[in-house]
Each structure stands twice: as C-alpha cells, then as structure tokens.
C-alpha cells in the first residue's frame, strides 16, 4: 500500500481533463498520477514541467535518458511504466532495456550518441555534474538545445523517482520489471546517490 492513498474517480474537473489528455484511451490513471492528484497544485505543476512533447531530442533519445535516470535511481515503478508504453515504439531491444539497468554507459548495444546520453545521466546521478570527457562526447553529438533538454529530463525524472520511491508506490500490473539479477545493483545505485 502506498504511503498516501491515491485519489479515486470522480476527480476534480481540472485533474480529470489532464488525465484524459495524458493517457491513451482505455488506460486507467497511473497510481502516481492519482496520488499526485491528492494535491491539485503539485499535480498541475508536475505536469506543467513534463517533457514528453516533441523536443529537440528524438523520442528514442528522450526515452533512453528517462529509462537510465529512473533505473540508476532504483525507481522500478517509473522505469517499468516507460518501458511498457514506449520501448517498442522507440525500438528498444530487450538487451537495451536491460542495459539501462545493468550495463555501463559504453555498452556495445548503444550507438555513440546514446552512450553520450547515458554517460550524462550517470554523471548527473552520481556526481550532480558532467565530467569533461562526457561533455566532449556530448558536444560531438548534440547541440546546446539538445544538451539542455537531456539535463532537464534527467532532473525531472529524478523528481518523479523521488515521488515514486518516497511514496512507496506499488508497481503497475502491466509495467516492465527490472531484470531479475539487478535488484541488489539497483539498491546499491540508489544508496550511492
């Protein structure tokens, strides 16, 4: 049971409208969304900061940043929801999905630009800064707008991970699960940050 009981329908009109815009038809509101709905101001501000619209990074690049950020923070809830909704759409293979949790930034399953994005996430999560070598790799692949978007995504999904972990949200039944052998690693990564 989560620490704060999620809101149930009927929702306040503004929240109901936002939920209808956010979710595909027939998909019930996520536990995360219903929990945030307990505070309409936090709900509205959280969704105002979302970056899932068309940005300067491709959808695949955004998903890699999101998946790596949530995995590095041990947030199986958000990682699993994103994989369920986006992995196939952006062409993430099973190996790549697992690699967002288990592999180093330079894993062979990633292209050079994807390795640079993963290194960016790792640097920000581990050190809250970007190493000089990572910055060189980013500059070789991305422009200013794209780098700023990747940093913002990492920060935004750090916040989403805080919500999910601090509220002890139960996993969505249809969401992906961390690879079986990574539970200890995910916990260690969470404790190291």
pLDDT of the chain, 193 residues: tens digit per residue: 889 999 999 999 999 999 888 888 888 999 999 999 999 999 999 987 776 677 899 999 999 999 999 999 999 999 999 999 999 999 999 999 999 999 999 999 999 999 999 999 999 999 999 999 999 999 999 999 999 999 999 999 999 999 999 999 999 999 999 998 655 343 333 333 3
The token duo for 11 is 């929702």
Distance CA 110, CA 106 (A): 7
DSSP letters of 161-174? Answer: HHHHHHTTPPPPTT
CA triplet 84, 82, 134: central angle to 5 degrees?
Answer: 135
Enumerate residues 6+ apart whose C-beta is below 8 A from 162.
none
CA 29 to chain centre: 17
Q: Is pTM, for the whole model, over 0.75?
A: yes
Distance CA 70, CA 80 (A): 9
Own/partner long-range contacts of 38-42 (Cβ < 8 Å, ≥24 apart): 38/4, 38/5, 38/6, 38/7, 40/12, 40/14, 40/15
Beta strands in the chain (DSSP E): none
Q: Is 51 helix (H, G, I), strand (E, B) or coil?
A: coil
Peptide bond into 81 cis (omega under 30): no
Domains of the chain: 13-48 (no CATH), 59-192 (1.20.1290.10)
């Amino acid at each position: 049971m989560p620490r704060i009981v999620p809101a149930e329908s009927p929702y306040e009109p503004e929240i109901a409208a936002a939920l209808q815009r956010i979710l595909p038809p027939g998909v019930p509101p996520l536990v995360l969304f219903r929990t945030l709905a307990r505070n309409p101001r936090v709900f509205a501000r959280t969704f105002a900061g979302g970056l899932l619209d068309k940005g300067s990074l491709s959808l695949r690049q955004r998903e890699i940043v999101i998946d790596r950020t949530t995995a590095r923070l041990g947030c199986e809830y958000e990682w699993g929801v994103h994989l369920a909704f986006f992995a196939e759409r952006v062409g993430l293979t099973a190996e790549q999905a697992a690699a967002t949790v288990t592999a180093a930034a330079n894993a062979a399953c990633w292209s050079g630009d994807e390795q640079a994005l993963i290194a960016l996430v790792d640097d920000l999560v581990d050190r809250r800064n970007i190493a000089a070598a990572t910055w060189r790799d980013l500059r070789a692949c991305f422009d200013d707008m794209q780098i700023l978007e990747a940093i913002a995504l990492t920060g935004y999904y750090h916040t989403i991970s805080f919500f999910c972990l601090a509220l002890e949200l139960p996993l969505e039944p249809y969401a992906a699960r961390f690879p079986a052998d990574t539970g200890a690693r995910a916990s260690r990564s969470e404790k190291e940050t």
